[in-house]
A and B are shown apart, each in its own frame.
Chain A
Amino acid sequence: MGKDHIGELEELVLLLIVMLKEDAYGLAIRRTLKEQVGRLITIGAIHGTLNRLEKKGFAGSSYSQATEVRGGRSKRIFTITVSGRKALQKSRDVKVNLWMQIPELALK
């Protein structure tokens, strides 16, 4: 498992970052994850994953304007990086490639 390896939750979160665009911050990602994937995860776990992605260089982050609902705190908005994109593509390719090799399963 090198640095370019991407875990399952990481992959999901990274996809959501791309999907949510300007609104990709911790709590929003958690909410979407719950709605779209049906997985309920603690906010802490989401933050951990986001930080890990940033450390691996798959995502970058910047602070947005402060909002009142957040008690005057700003959001940390995440964006995907080029290597993040590559990692996603690679992960998809690997899976697609594997699916293609098992036609009986793919047919179903």
Chain B
Amino acid sequence: MKRRYHIPRAAERLIRSICKSDYTEEIIGDLYEYHDEITGKPRWKRGVYFWFHVFNFIKPWSIKSFEGTQNLNHYGMFKNYFKTSYRSLRKNALFSFINVVGLAISMSIGILMILVISELNSFDSMHTKADRIYRVAGNKFMYGQEIDIPMASHYIGLEMEHQTPGIEEVLIMRDGVDVDLRTEAGAINIKGFYTTESFFDIFSFELLKGNPETALLEPNGVVLTQSTARKIFGDKDPLGEPLEMESTGGWQVRNIVGIVTGVMADLPSNSHLQFEVLVSMETYDQPAISGTGWHKGYKSVHFWKSTHVYVLLDKETTPLAIENSMAEILRDYNAEQEHPVTYTLQSMKDFVTSDKLGNRVGPRFSRKQLGIMIGLTIVVLISACFNYTNLSLARALRRAKEVGIRKVSGARRHQVFTQFIVESILLSLISLILAIGLFLLIKPAFINLPNPASSGHDMFLLNIGALQIVYFVTFAIVLGVIAGILPSVFLSKLNTTIVLKDAGTIKPLAGISLRRILTVLQFALSIGLIMSAVMVNKQYQFAVNFDMGFNTERIINIKVKGDYASKLEATLQRIPEVEQTSISLMTMATGQAELARVESEDKEHKGRIFWNSIDEKYLSMHNFELVAGRGFESPLQGQTLGNQVILNEHILQSLQLGSPEEAIGKFITIHGYARGKYQVIGVVENFVNTSLNAGHDSDIMKEKNFGFIQGMPGFSNGQIGVKFRSDNLVDLVQKLETAYLEFDQKHPFEAEFYNDQIAETYRAQKTTVTLISFLAFLAISISMLGLLGMAVYITESKMKEISIRKVLGAGFVNLMTLLSRGFAFMIIIAAFIAIPITKYILDDKILGQFNYRPETNLMDLLSGFLIVLLIGFFTVTWQIRQAAIRNPSDLLRNE
């Protein structure tokens, strides 16, 4: 007999590997028999039939489940963990709810932070050579102190290009393209840089049209971003089109007769460099038509204002070697300098996030800023974790029996531990879903918060991608482990026999001291955050409502971009609602400032001074208080710059000019743009010019010295202040605009209320206030949820005690005192911890650096404590009331 009843080995193996072991015997047996049955058929048919049946055995009922043979224990155990966790969460709905809500609230902030961090990390990642791109940063001696700025001289760039080995490309860029263009859709403003031709060699920005090699080579070559090109030219192909621009950037006006040589893709929001237009550096060689910003010697070693130098190193060169070469280039120059210049290289990954150097060409988000935000987020997260830990520990008693039974049935300690960790991870994953929902709610608000450092650019998109989801889940799991670790350790440690013999013998509130510590810490965090919110808000309100020392009410400032200021002023004065007008260079007290060095006549006393150029009507219109002397009396005749100055009282001290009366008639020398010798004709009372909140790293911005001069030395920019008496503002602004358009159709009409401009100056601080208040609100909601949970638990477990006390005659007030004493005590301890620490950090370290400060009073210090106490009191009372008003007989009847 032929041994024909052998089925293919592969079939047998397949069935064995896929099907449940219970079935394989029968299946393979049947397959043998079937194989035998079809032997009469042609060979190929046999194969097809047989395999058809083999594959037909792969059905849901036959396939091994994942709990399959070998890993049965692990999988089964986790399945069991999930099941018990789910049941336990459902059974304690209130506790689960409190935990889920608390965790979700804090996690939504965590999600926000994860996205912010991951987007910050993605900055400039589109450049393929990013790891070799560096920016030259220098230390500049300005106004009597050294300042690190991310700029360098054109000179050093050229020198490096010519003689430094190890550098593949050098890119030099200059600020100063700022153009108003009339298009069919209305006037638009485009800003950008002059740049050398290596731009597209260093950066990986895509040039959609035009040749990247030559686009920025010739004079007047202009590269537009795609959306700008569309705004200007519509659907027409912009390549080769002429573009006449009058650029007013950088204290100068120059006519650029540009030719569009390229269109590049719009800049992604995560680029450190933001602009609408690039103009070839050769264009800058043509002199400006007015303004002092252009120097024939802009390529000289001294001149490095507004110049950005980027280098692309080759693969073998270290930044240190280049820094040494730069020092070498400057050695002769530095030898003669009182303050030698040192250039360093800043790596591309630090462009946006550096603490030391700002980013002048796009958004900035310093690591310090990020650190503070992460810190606050962690505070809120910890608070939510504490809730979980606290509530789980408090409920330990109820779960003790479960643990006992598990252990008796053979569970090891680590298995019980895993079970509780799984439970908290499950909870945290549920919260994650809610948290993502919450995050989507707060996302628009966060994106719209003015970020002072991003200089008007949208830094963050906060989009959620697949990678981010992975981050979120990891984050949720980590958070679950952190929240669950303490209760898990505690519960898994329980002694089986004791638990099962008599549950009463384990301390009902085991871990009580740990729990108290956590609760106190949680309260302390809430108190601290509320205090911070109150104090930062106070500083903000203080700044906005501060008496500047001059009048800003009912004044509109109109920007003037041309030499028509006096003609426009005459027209404006004919509008009936206009009470008074005056021309000045800058808007005071809004952070606009021109700083200069100043000397007394004998050159013995030196100082720094902020100055503004004004006309003869300015002081009276803004109600500056003259202490001595007089204001400017008549318009300047024939000359562009007056030789008289009006000082404030601060500078009299710096230059030792004596009393206001004595100072009149003395001479001082001002350097910088308005250089010259001036005679003091008046002294005004001190007022606030520099931002009230200037602080942190800029001593310069705290300078309170101030002087007014008359006339505008070479500037055609300025503003007209209009004091009005009308209440019909819409009508007024329309009339002003009509007048403006008579003289200037090229530039958009820009007018703002003075008070709005001042409020705008403090917008950055408003952001801080909003953020801190929001976080304080979250922290307090979370800790109150926790408090509610604890109150529910304690009153529940003391129900009998309450009833007996009631029977014995205790009143509602007695019960209240008895039950809320513990909470009040914890809040008081928390206050003792939180108040001094917050005061130290906020009052002495952060706000203490501000230029002008309100006094911190007792109410500010106690604010957090009182609010927490009040809310805590209401939460506890509400709970205890439930217990206290119940009829004791209902509870005690069954005893």
Asked if B533 is at the interface (CB within 8 A of a chain A CB), the reply is no
Asked if B27 is at the interface (CB within 8 A of a chain A CB), the reply is yes
Q: Considering the complex, which residues of chain A in the window 54-74 have a beta carbon less than 8 Å from any beta carbon of chain B?
A: 63, 68-71, 73-74
Give the docked Cα–Cα distance between A47 and B30 (Å): 10
| Interface-side segment among B51-59, B476-484, B779-787, B819-827 | B51-59
CB pair B25–A63 under 8 Å, yes or no, is yes
List chain A residues, Cβ under 8 A from B52: 42
Give the docked Cα–Cα distance between A44 and B57 (Å): 5
CB pair B25–A47 under 8 Å, yes or no, is no
CB pair B30–A71 under 8 Å, yes or no, is no
Taking the closest CB of chain A, its distance from the CB of B818, in whole angstroms, is 57
Asked if A45 is at the interface (CB within 8 A of a chain B CB), the reply is yes
Interface residue total, chain A, C-beta cutoff 8 A: 20
List chain A residues, Cβ under 8 A from B59: 44, 48
List chain A residues, Cβ under 8 A from B34: 27, 43
List chain A residues, Cβ under 8 A from B30: 25-27, 43, 47, 70
Give the docked Cα–Cα distance between A77 and B23 (Å): 13
Closest to A46 in B: B30
List chain B residues, Cβ under 8 A from A48: 59, 61-62
Q: Considering the complex, which residues of chain B in the window 850-893 have a beta carbon less than 8 Å from any beta carbon of chain A?
A: none
CB pair A71–B29 under 8 Å, yes or no, is yes
Q: Considering the complex, which residues of chain A in the window 18-56 have a beta carbon less than 8 Å from any beta carbon of chain B?
A: 25-27, 42-45, 47-48, 51-52
Selected from A45, A47, A63, A69, the residue in CB contact (under 8 A) with B32 is A69
List chain A residues, Cβ under 8 A from B58: 44
Taking the closest CB of chain A, its distance from the CB of B749, in whole angstroms, is 77
List chain B residues, Cβ under 8 A from A45: 56
CB pair B56–A44 under 8 Å, yes or no, is yes
A-B contact count (CB 8 A): 68
Selected from A43, A69, A76, the residue in CB contact (under 8 A) with B36 is A69
List chain A residues, Cβ under 8 A from B27: 43, 47
CB pair A71–B32 under 8 Å, yes or no, is yes
Give the docked Cα–Cα distance between A63 and B23 (Å): 11
CB pair B56–A73 under 8 Å, yes or no, is no
Q: Considering the complex, which residues of chain B in the window 9-66 have a beta carbon less than 8 Å from any beta carbon of chain A?
A: 23, 25-34, 36-37, 52-53, 56-59, 61-62
| Given A27-B33, A71-B29: A47 in contact with B57 (beta carbons within 8 A) | yes
CB pair B25–A73 under 8 Å, yes or no, is yes
Give the docked Cα–Cα distance between A45 and B62 (Å): 11
Taking the closest CB of chain A, its distance from the CB of B36, in whole angstroms, is 6
Closest to B25 in A: A73
CB pair A69–B31 under 8 Å, yes or no, is no
Asked if A75 is at the interface (CB within 8 A of a chain B CB), the reply is yes
Selected from B5, B23, B26, B57, the residue in CB contact (under 8 A) with A71 is B5
CB pair A69–B56 under 8 Å, yes or no, is no
Taking the closest CB of chain A, its distance from the CB of B580, in whole angstroms, is 91
List chain A residues, Cβ under 8 A from B62: 44, 47-48
CB pair B25–A43 under 8 Å, yes or no, is no
List chain B residues, Cβ under 8 A from A75: 26, 29
Asked if B2 is at the interface (CB within 8 A of a chain A CB), the reply is no
Closest to A66 in B: B29
Closest to B58 in A: A44
Asked if B518 is at the interface (CB within 8 A of a chain A CB), the reply is no
Selected from A42, A69, A76, the residue in CB contact (under 8 A) with B33 is A69
List chain A residues, Cβ under 8 A from B61: 48, 51-52
Asked if B7 is at the interface (CB within 8 A of a chain A CB), the reply is yes
CB pair B26–A43 under 8 Å, yes or no, is no
Closest to A71 in B: B32
**Interface-central residue, A27, A44, A45, by most chain B CB under 10 Å:** A44
Interface residues as binary, A74-88 with B (CB distance below 8 Å gives 1, 0 otherwise): 111000000000000
Give the docked Cα–Cα distance between A45 and B27 (Å): 11
List chain A residues, Cβ under 8 A from B57: 43-44, 47
Taking the closest CB of chain A, its distance from the CB of B47, in whole angstroms, is 16
Give the docked Cα–Cα distance between A76 and B22 (Å): 11
Taking the closest CB of chain A, its distance from the CB of B794, in whole angstroms, is 48
List chain A residues, Cβ under 8 A from B29: 70-71, 73-76
List chain A residues, Cβ under 8 A from B28: 70-71, 73
Other contacts beyond A43-B53, A43-B57: 9, CB < 8 A: A25-B30, A42-B53, A44-B56, A48-B62, A71-B5, A71-B6, A71-B7, A74-B25, A75-B29
Q: Using a CB–CB distance below 8 Å, which chain B residues touch chain A?
A: 5-7, 23, 25-34, 36-37, 52-53, 56-59, 61-62
Q: What are 9 A-B interface contacts by the 8 Å CB criterion? A: A27-B34, A43-B34, A43-B57, A44-B58, A70-B32, A71-B7, A71-B29, A73-B25, A74-B29
What are the nearest 3 A-B pairs in CB distance?
Answer: A73-B29, A44-B56, A70-B29
